[in-house]
Amino acid sequence: MSYVNPIHRFGLQRFPAAARDAGVDGLILCDCRPRRWGTSGRHGAAGVHPVLLIAPTSPDRRISLISTRSGGYIYYVSLRGVTGTRDRLPDGLAAGIGRVRALTDKPLAVGFGISTPAQAQAVAGLADAVIVGSAVVAAVEQSRARTTSSAGWAGSWGVSGPR
């Protein structure tokens, strides 16, 4: 995930190949509008696919646009507001995912506020992938005092570790 400005600073012409060479195959540019970020540009040609975000408040027309511009999968933001750990999943999550699924055939990854293994399992029943970014950050911060490996942490969530 990045913002557009660091990529501009690095160099728009050289970034796609550099990202590909570093092992990147998908990229979230969270401040780039869907009309400017699509698979037909330099990034797609380099094999770096755009991952665009859909919010619960996104209108159908925007969801359809994002579906045509996304490569690989679509990231569904599960809630209104900011990311971070939560004690429960948002109301209306299943309905929101269903609305997006009716407008696209792309795989759907769901993230934002998924904080526990039980929440991840529930979302896994609705989506193609589950994103647990804040939970990973919290686990890394907690592990500074311990020597728990990321593979051990991932296993505790029922997720396979690094290959």
In this model, does residue 85 exceed pLDDT 70?
no
Q: Are 111 and 75 in contact (CB under 8 A)?
A: yes
Beta pairing class for 74-77 and 108-111: parallel
SS (H, E, C) 116-141: CHHHHHHHHCCCCEECCHHHHHHHHH
The encoded tokens of residue 93 equal 């999550």
Q: Which letter does DSSP use for residue 90 in this model?
A: P
Predicted local distance difference test score (pLDDT) of residue 36: 72
pTM: 0.77
Q: Return the residue matching tokens 């311990």.
A: 146
Residues 13, 21: Cα–Cα separation, whole Å: 14
Nearest to 103 by CA among 49, 73, 62, 138: 62
Average pLDDT, whole number, for the chain?
Answer: 82
44 pLDDT band, cuts 50/70/90, is low
In this model, does residue 163 exceed pLDDT 60?
no
Residues 92-124 pLDDT 10s: 999 999 999 999 999 999 998 888 889 999 999
Predicted local distance difference test score (pLDDT) of residue 48: 86
As a whole number, mean pLDDT of residues 26-44 equals 71
Predicted local distance difference test score (pLDDT) of residue 161: 42
